[in-house]
Amino acid sequence: TDKQGYRHYMMKEIFFQPDAISKTLKGRITKDQVITKEFGESADLIFSKTECIKIVACGTSYHAGLIAAYWMEKVANIHCQVEIASEYRYRKSVILDNTLFVAVSQSGETADTLAALRTAKDAGYLSTLVICNVDESSLTRDSALCFLTHAGTEIGVASTKAFTSQLAVFALLALHIKKNNMQNIDYAKDTIFQSLFEMQQTMRRILKNSKKFEEVAHSLRDAKSIFYIGRGPMYPLALEGALKLKEITYKHCEGYAAGELKHGPLALIEDDIPVIALAPYDENFLKILSNIQEIKARNGKIILISDSKGVDKAKKYCDQTIVLPNTNFVTSAILYSLPVQLIAYHLAVLLGTDVDQPRNLAKSVTVE
Ligand code: G6P
């Protein structure tokens, strides 16, 4: 738990992510299968019966859940709904048949998530599953099933490696539940398995060129406010990018679904409100490209994070570009997390905030 030469825990934890992911995946996948021995046979019965998933969490873990919902519906063909724990626990909700309740928490001690799980236990769900980084936590003790993320202790208040490990676990869950679901579509299964296998190396490659993220942070220094935009799984990652900036730089930042810009935020666009677009070259790319053009037409400043194909197509509209490796529907959100985290980190360092212990925030929120 020392900083091992890094200036901050957060930086150490960002750079530990290739190893954290490999620990998360270790022993849990072959080249075309998810191994679920650790859950026992009763879990497989539950997974095979699952027709809906309800995910409940707070903060960064909630964003992991939102990303997972895109995967569950597309990859596993399973209905998935995500909710903030502090909302879920105080409202009446209708439970569809054979719904698996999934609570997500880095610490396993978040008061609202724990209360939500306790409410869910007697509410008629098929079963309860906790995705957690801490074995022997209140949440793991209270849940029927538990999927540990094995990311190692996280000290920086802003969650980084715990988040990407949660995503890796959700990817496994989507691939596994899909296997047991007779009506599912065969969405690029081989590509996803292959890219999970290569995840550690791909993350290392991105982190090696982290200088570029520092340059972006410099360009954001005087921004009045910042927008992150994305479509598909990049939309919840945009929310996470905005949360990271708020948490550690204290700058106002909003994450937006790119298609919603025209319903309000376009009115705010001016040259000191930069927009960071998370846009891998995928089925959403041409749509987000037209959003980028709309922003440019209003003198907005665009920072594009994409792959080489996306950057080639869009660079004439962008002020800065970052090229990431090619990804797919599942791994994009994991890999695009790295620039999002590093931009926030470098900007916080430039602004001189307390990166590991931001004002007014706590690592584990055990009270309401
Ligand atoms: C706090 C932390 C966040 C975290 C959230 C949920 O607000 O500062 O980083 O995402 O709690 O925590 P959990 O442990 O449940 O994931």
How remote is the CA of residue 33 from the centroid of ligand 1, in Å?
A: 31
* 8 Å CB contact between 100 and 46: yes
| pLDDT tens for each residue of 321-365 | 999 999 998 999 999 999 999 999 999 999 999 999 999 998 888
CA-157 nearest atom, ligand 1: 8
Which residue lies with its CA nearest to atom 5 of ligand 1?
59
Q: Which of 82, 102, 110 to mutate to test the pocket of ligand 1 (most atoms within 8 A of CB)?
A: 110
284-291: list long-range contacts, CB under 8 Å, 24+ apart: 284/231, 284/232, 284/234, 285/310, 285/313, 287/231, 287/258, 287/259, 288/229, 288/230, 288/231, 288/258, 289/313, 289/314, 289/317, 291/229, 291/258, 291/259, 291/261
Q: What pLDDT band is residue 180 in, cutting at 50, 70 and 90?
A: low
Positions of E strands within the chain: 52-57, 79-84, 99-105, 127-132, 145-148, 226-230, 253-257, 275-278, 302-306, 320-323
List beta partners, residue 302. Answer: 275
Which residue lies with its CA nearest to atom 15 of ligand 1?
105
Does 185 have pLDDT greater than 80? no
Write down the mean pLDDT value for the chain. 93
pTM: 0.96
Which residue lies with its CA nearest to atom 8 of ligand 1?
363
Q: Is the CB of 133 under 6 A from ligand 1?
A: no
Which residue lies with its CA nearest to atom 7 of ligand 1?
59
Q: Is the CB of 79 under 6 A from ligand 1?
A: no
Q: Is the CB of 361 under 6 A from ligand 1?
A: yes
Average pLDDT over residues 255-273: 92
Distance CA 102, CA 313 (A): 39
What's residue 146's pLDDT?
A: 94
Q: Is the CB of 157 under 6 A from ligand 1?
A: yes
Does 107 have pLDDT greater than 60? yes
Does 183 have pLDDT greater than 70? no
Is pLDDT larger for residue 367 or for residue 115?
115
What's residue 32's pLDDT?
A: 84
Is pLDDT larger for residue 276 or for residue 185?
276
Q: Which of 10, 131, 363, 366 to mutate to test the pocket of ligand 1 (most atoms within 8 A of CB)?
A: 363
Does 184 have pLDDT greater than 60? no
Does 172 have pLDDT greater than 50? yes
Q: What pLDDT band is residue 177 in, cutting at 50, 70 and 90?
A: confident
| pLDDT tens for each residue of 108-166 | 999 999 999 999 999 999 999 999 999 999 999 999 999 999 999 999 999 999 999 99
| pLDDT tens for each residue of 11-25 | 999 999 999 999 999
Q: Is the CB of 110 under 6 A from ligand 1?
A: yes
What's residue 182's pLDDT?
A: 45
Is pLDDT larger for residue 175 or for residue 287?
287
What's residue 132's pLDDT?
A: 97
Tell me what percent of the residues of the chain surpass a pLDDT of 90: 82
Does 181 have pLDDT greater than 70? no
| pLDDT tens for each residue of 271-317 | 899 999 999 999 999 999 999 999 999 999 999 999 999 999 999 99
Does 209 have pLDDT greater than 90? no
How remote is the CA of residue 335 from the centroid of ligand 1, in Å?
A: 21
